[in-house]
A and B are shown apart, each in its own frame.
Chain A
Amino acid sequence: MDEVSTRLERHIPALRRYAWALLRDREAADDLVQDCLERAVGRWALRRRDGDLRAWLFAILHNLFIDGLRRRRREGLRVDLDHAAELPSPGSDPESATGLRDVLAALDTLPSEQRAVILLVGVEELSYEAAARVLAVPIGTVMSRLSRGRERLRRALEPAPAATLRRIK
């Protein structure tokens, strides 16, 4: 196996984990990782030699994810009626039934930018500087998204009365 394969493949498990955490769909997550790797292979000669390969790969993946998000938002999300009926409802989750709120479900309640920081720093263990580079934001923004995200996550995990309709006014 050549050098490029060795260096890239080392990061695939972490890229899959991040992609799955963002999309929560196996096929879609692996599609995202595949697109990311294709781009990485295609641009291998363009990367900074002294740069952090891991951060570079996460940046590619993250940008592809954001592109996909924009596209989906524009097109809306199509749900076929038959297919929609099979979607599991949060109420059928045995953990939520016993009052144990699931940490992934709580993560889902966060805005995607806070979710991304929590995953990159907390799970993928990127440095704050590397996370800032991946997300193309100043490091201060990473820190504030991290603390706001964690606060929100804490609140979401607190035992709370069943969610009802939110007041509009």
Chain B
Amino acid sequence: MSGLERPIGEDDLAAHVDGRVPAGRQAALATYLAERPDQEAELRRDRETLMALRDRLAPIAGEPVPSRLRVAAIRAERRGRQRRRFGLALAAVLLLTVGGTAGWYGRDLVGGPRPLAGRAWAAIAEEALAAHRTYTVEVVHPVEVKAAEEAHLVQWLSKRLKRRLVIPDLEERFGLTLVGGRLLPAGRDVAALLMYADASGSRLTLYVRSGGARESALNFMREGEVSAFSWMDEGYGYVVSAAMDRDKLQSVAKAVLADVDLDAARRRRAL
């Protein structure tokens, strides 16, 4: 029988790490690992990692269970909700009767188009990520106007965006040098895409478009490896995207935001 045993598989190795090798496989596995000390060492490390993970998570399971998770509390909550739902249904019936007459007068209060400001940043971030994906992989023509013609780039894009485009200096703080920029269509508006690269060739883009909301918070979005921070300010949308860890990208976003703010403040003072 010994020559005809099932070969060792991934499942046997996993079971070894988990300490659940069936009795019938132990001898075969021991022979296999005795001949492969490197692999044996790897599995031992996996086992240690597993133990470390259990240790790290054990305190959570040892904590007293919060009252709101008691089954009695869950049941009471459910009953309460069912009663409220019944109450709402009753209220809805009443509203339907009253609504028949009041509805016409109330139409201006509830109907009509709603501002989409709450979702606008996500749409802008998606446009920016699409542009990022398209142009960061471009080898021959990543930009239309290269950094060498920065003055022309600023003038051209500012004219099309109808606002003074600020090209933040990210070299000293983040080691990102300007590659250049291009103009992009963005629905009925236009957008500018500025591209930066670090010493290893990794690229970051800053997307600026008109048609944004007056202002918004800094929002985070991730698509695959690429992360993006976006915000809106004075009717313009800004998105910084790169395959970079979130904290670092956030510092870049804040630096860009600060540069744009500084420029706006200078302009206001100059007026």
Q: Which residues of A contact B (CB under 8 A)?
A: 4-5, 8-9, 12-14, 16-17, 20-21, 30, 33-34, 37-38, 41-42, 73, 75-81, 84, 87, 89-91, 103-104, 106-107, 118-119, 121-123, 128, 143-144, 146-147, 150, 153-154, 157, 163-169
Q: Which residues of chain B come closer than 8 Å to A153, judged between CB atoms?
A: 46, 49
Query: What secondary structure prevails in chain B residues at the interface with A?
Result: helix
Q: Across the A-B interface, how many residue pairs have beta carbons closer than 8 Å?
A: 144
Interface size class on chain B is 35 or more
Q: Which of B151-159, B164-172, B242-250 lies at the interface? A: B242-250
Task: For residue B127, give the distance in angstroms from its CB to the closest CB of chain A.
Answer: 13
In the complex, which residues of chain A have a beta carbon less than 8 angstroms from the beta carbon of B17? 150
Smallest CB gap from B139: residue in A? A169
Query: Is the CB–CB distance between A76 and B125 below 8 Å?
Result: yes
Q: How far is the CB of A164 from chain B (nearest CB, A)?
A: 7
Q: Map CB proximity to A onto B59-95 as digits: 1 under 8 Å, 0 otherwise.
A: 0111101101111101101100000000000000000
A9 to B74, CA, bound (A): 11
Whether the pair B66, A30 counts as a contact (CB closer than 8 A) is yes
Would you list which residues of chain B between 187 and 209 have a CB under 8 Å from chain A? 198, 200-203
Cβ of B42 under 8 Å from chain A = yes
Are A164 and B200 closer than 8 Å at their CB atoms? yes
In whole angstroms, what is the CA distance A21 to B102 when docked? 52
Shortest CB-to-CB span from A110 to chain B, Å, is 12
Instruction: Give chain A's interface secondary structure class.
Output: helix
Q: Is the CB of A168 within 8 A of B137?
A: yes
